[in-house]
Amino acid sequence: MKPLSALILSCMVGSCAIFGSCHSAPAPDYTPLTETSMYVIDSVRLAATGGDENAALNILEQAATLYKKGPDTAKSIELFKQSILTRPTAKAYYDLAGALVTTHQYVEAIWALRIAERLGYTPLANVMYRYTMAYGNRAGDDKFHGTPHDSALYYMELAIQMGYSRPQQFLRRDLFPALFVEGGADEVYNQVVAAGSGLDKDRTLWELYKNHFFSIQLPLVIDSQWSSDHPNDSYADISEEFDRFIPAMQNDHWEREPDFSYYYVGQVTENPAWSAVIYCIEPAESIDPQFPGSYYLSTYDTRGDVIDTLQVAGAQESGSPFKVFKIRPSLQFSVQDFVYATDSTSSGSDSTHPKHLNALPPVAFRIAANGKFEKVEALTLR
């Protein structure tokens, strides 16, 4: 006679055979991925039940090492895909997306990110960050439909809300050259960072404004030729949200139709106590193609409060002095006015006399240790 336990076990096995289930479903059939099915989530999930896990991991490590070295990103993409075809994982799709973004293959990068997200890649905020890169840097890519810029803002907001560890990376123009060119990014970034971090909104606004300025190489001369070589439409517009940093903008925004446009030019210097930048104010209807607007040098403390500001180049309005600006690495600078004068040797009425520019003596300054502009006798050779 069999023991009772053996009879019970025998009955259980028999019942499982009859009814086909003991509280667990059979594993789905393993179907390897192909190049055409690697972005179909159902196919990916079937392929993930089999394959050579160790081989896939080894290939993934090779791809990651090659990608970090940099020169042969195309080869690393081949290896990432080989790892996925061997056995797909969320990490392999996420890493593949990074390499695709680097090589400007934004549409396929989004496909890869969608699979990584659905396979449960963590931290999810990093996936949202790469979505932002793929959508935000797609300028000129006619494969996109809809509004990629709006999608980029959506994913940037999600990434920050999900706790992305380095939100200031969104401000880096080398990583996101197109994100802040169109409107809306400043407002979204400022609101979500201030709300989620507990930081003061004005402080966050200042960091955002400051990061719009690219570093300028010194020495620098801004004259009519420089203005012609660097038209304002090559610079990003300054949003109205930043009017607290530009006194002239505060008055202009009370007008129904503002009289001026505002542009970032560049950052002169930054130290632990203050920052110095140059921006341009251009009339809504340009007075003269040769003189597109006025350039201002402005210094700010660490809270973004204006320390000093001065028009240093360009022309305010038709007939006003045209200024030429020179600044050296020592942060000494000069401002020289060129004023219009009537040629008194010509005959006829004053209105028909030709005019020319007379150069006035340059006025020399330096940016002092406190960020104020101080006059000096003359510029040194430094």
- pLDDT tens digits, one per residue of 145-183: 557 888 899 999 899 888 888 888 887 777 887 787 777
Higher-confidence residue of 81 and 8: namely 81
Are 244 and 300 spatial neighbours (Cβ–Cβ below 8 Å)? Answer: no
SS3 337: strand
pLDDT the model gives residue 308: 96
Angle between helix 90-102 and helix 124-136 axes, rounded to 10 deg:
30
Higher-confidence residue of 324 and 348: namely 324
Share of the chain above pLDDT 70, in %: 79
- pLDDT tens digits, one per residue of 219-246: 999 998 898 888 877 777 888 888 889 9
Are 252 and 240 spatial neighbours (Cβ–Cβ below 8 Å)? Answer: no
pLDDT at 112 over 90: yes
pLDDT the model gives residue 21: 40
pLDDT the model gives residue 15: 39
Cα separation, 340 vs 322, in Å, equals 9
pLDDT at 128 over 80: yes
- pLDDT tens digits, one per residue of 271-299: 999 999 999 998 866 555 555 689 999 99
| Average pLDDT value for the chain | 81
Which of 96-110, 161-175, 231-245, 317-331: highest mean pLDDT?
96-110
Q: Which of 48-52, 120-124, 188-192, 347-351 has the lowest mean pLDDT?
A: 347-351
Average pLDDT of the residues in 104-123:
94
Per-residue confidence at 318, pLDDT binned at 50, 70, 90?
A: low
pLDDT the model gives residue 292: 67
C-alpha distances in angstroms, 148 versus 18, 178, 290?
Answer: 55, 11, 36
Cα separation, 361 vs 16, in Å, equals 101
**Cα 325 from chain centroid?**
29
pLDDT the model gives residue 17: 39
Per-residue confidence at 10, pLDDT binned at 50, 70, 90?
A: very low
Residues 6+ away with beta carbon under 8 Å from 88: 33, 38, 44, 47, 48, 51, 56, 115, 119
SS3 332: strand
Q: Is 269 exposed, middle or buried (0-12, 13-18, 19+ CB in 10 A)?
A: middle
Average pLDDT of the residues in 237-260:
75
SS3 262: strand
SS3 357: strand
Task: Give residue for tokens 């012609």.
Answer: 228
Cα separation, 194 vs 184, in Å, equals 16
Per-residue confidence at 370, pLDDT binned at 50, 70, 90?
A: very high
Residue 343's Cβ-side half-sphere holds a number of Cα atoms within 13 Å equal to 10
**φ, ψ at 123 (rounded to 5°):** -75, 140
pLDDT the model gives residue 4: 35
Tell whether omega for the bond before 123 is within 30 degrees of 0, i.e. cis: yes
Cα separation, 76 vs 103, in Å, equals 11
